[in-house]
């Protein structure tokens, strides 16, 4: 059992950027590539609209910093879309699916059969891949190709919306032709089988939760905790401090984006976020 090749750190926020002037797309892409070369943690991808790109980040502060670096590299202001929250998905139950490319008979065209089993894992355990498909030495290359196809499907998500996480995928069975099967064909079959299995598994939508600390005067602790619950959050712990009480809590990212101003309004600025909020985990979030 091994981690998937694309099981990279997750980024809960993204923002689409583009340049209006002629030739702006090429200049922007060069600036993005330069930023990635200088920082392995810099993540971006092409968006569905030509000439636009999506920059990903862990926090609003990091996202703002990334966009400032790209703006400097591009040499002109960027047009930006709204900040978006990246959902993730995980299977609700075990499921299997098979995909076939080509026919077993004949001498033309690629041939591949891949059957996958998708198994849910606990939150935070990540994606892993294993194979039960054994045989001649050439099977090793086909197993590696199936792992790449599964990794791509997990990174792209079903219908291109959010990554698939916390999943064990098993290559349970398949078929190959000694002359007509290729690694590319098996990767393509694995991609399709993974999508089909995840649809059958009933994917659950997960949202990022932020862990924050709030400094509040003692008489405001209960109102703050109750307000967090109304926003889909929860108190984790609290401790006394010289100027009040520090409340550690988890809060859905979608609520966190406006929470600083909302907290000031609720408490007449007698409570505030302290320290640097951190991404805690992905989980199903109760909607208000």
Q: What is the pLDDT of residue 229?
A: 94
Q: Phi and psi at residue 80, in whole multiples of 5°?
A: -130, 145
pLDDT of residue 6 exceeding 50: no
Please tell me the distance from the alpha carbon of residue 13 to that of residue 257, in angstroms, as a whole number.
10
pTM of the model: 0.76
Predicted confidence (pLDDT) per residue in 43-83, tens digit: 888 887 888 999 999 888 899 999 999 999 998 889 999 99
Please tell me the distance from the alpha carbon of residue 101 to that of residue 11, in angstroms, as a whole number.
34
Predicted confidence (pLDDT) per residue in 149-205, tens digit: 999 999 888 666 788 999 999 999 999 888 888 999 999 999 999 999 999 999 999
Three-state DSSP state, 278: strand
Q: What is the pLDDT of residue 247?
A: 97
The first and second tokens of residue 191, run together, are: 């991609």
2-86 CATH:
3.30.70.870
Say if strands 271-283 and 203-216 run parallel, antiparallel, or are unpaired.
Answer: antiparallel
As annotated, the residues of the chain forming the CATH 3.30.70.870 domain(s) are: 2-86
Given this structure, which CATH class describes domain 205-283? alpha beta
Please tell me the distance from the alpha carbon of residue 90 to that of residue 166, in angstroms, as a whole number.
6
As annotated, the residues of the chain forming the CATH 3.30.230.10 domain(s) are: 89-201
Count of CA atoms in the C-beta half-sphere (13 A) of 175: 11
Q: What are the angstrom distances between the C-alpha of 217 and each of 101, 183, 214, 244, 288?
A: 65, 62, 10, 5, 27
Given this structure, which CATH class describes domain 89-201? alpha beta
As annotated, the residues of the chain forming the CATH 3.30.70.240 domain(s) are: 205-283
Whether the Cβ atoms of residue 282 and residue 208 lie closer than 8 Å to each other: yes
Say if strands 88-91 and 163-164 run parallel, antiparallel, or are unpaired.
Answer: parallel
């Amino acid at each position: 059992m091994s981690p998937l090749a694309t099981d990279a750190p997750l980024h809960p926020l993204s923002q689409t950027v583009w340049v209006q002037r002629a030739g702006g797309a090429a200049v922007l892409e060069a600036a993005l590539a330069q930023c990635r070369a200088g920082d392995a943690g810099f993540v971006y991808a092409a968006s569905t609209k030509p000439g636009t790109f999506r920059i990903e980040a862990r926090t609003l502060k990091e996202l703002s910093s990334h966009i400032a670096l790209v703006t400097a590299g591009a040499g002109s202001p960027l047009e930006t879309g709204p900040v978006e929250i990246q959902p993730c998905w995980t299977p609700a139950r075990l499921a299997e699916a098979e995909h076939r490319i080509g026919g077993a008979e004949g001498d033309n065209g690629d041939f591949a059969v891949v059957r996958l089993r998708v198994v849910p894992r606990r939150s935070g355990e990540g994606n892993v891949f294993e194979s039960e498909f054994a045989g001649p030495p050439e099977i090793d290359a086909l197993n590696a190709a199936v792992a790449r196809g599964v990794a791509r499907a997990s990174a792209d998500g079903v219908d291109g919306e959010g990554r698939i996480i916390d999943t064990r995928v098993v290559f349970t069975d398949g078929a190959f032709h000694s002359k007509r099967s290729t690694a590319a064909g098996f990767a393509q079959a694995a991609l399709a089988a993974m999508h089909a299995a995840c649809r059958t598994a009933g994917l659950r939508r997960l949202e990022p939760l932020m862990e924050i600390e709030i400094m509040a005067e003692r008489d405001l602790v209960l109102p703050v905790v109750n307000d967090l619950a109304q926003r889909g959050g929860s108190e984790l712990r609290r401790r006394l401090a010289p100027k009040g009480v520090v409340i550690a809590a988890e809060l859905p990212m979608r609520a966190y984006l406006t929470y600083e101003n909302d907290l000031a309004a609720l408490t007449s600025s007698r409570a505030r976020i302290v320290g640097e909020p951190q991404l805690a985990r992905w989980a199903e979030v109760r909607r208000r």
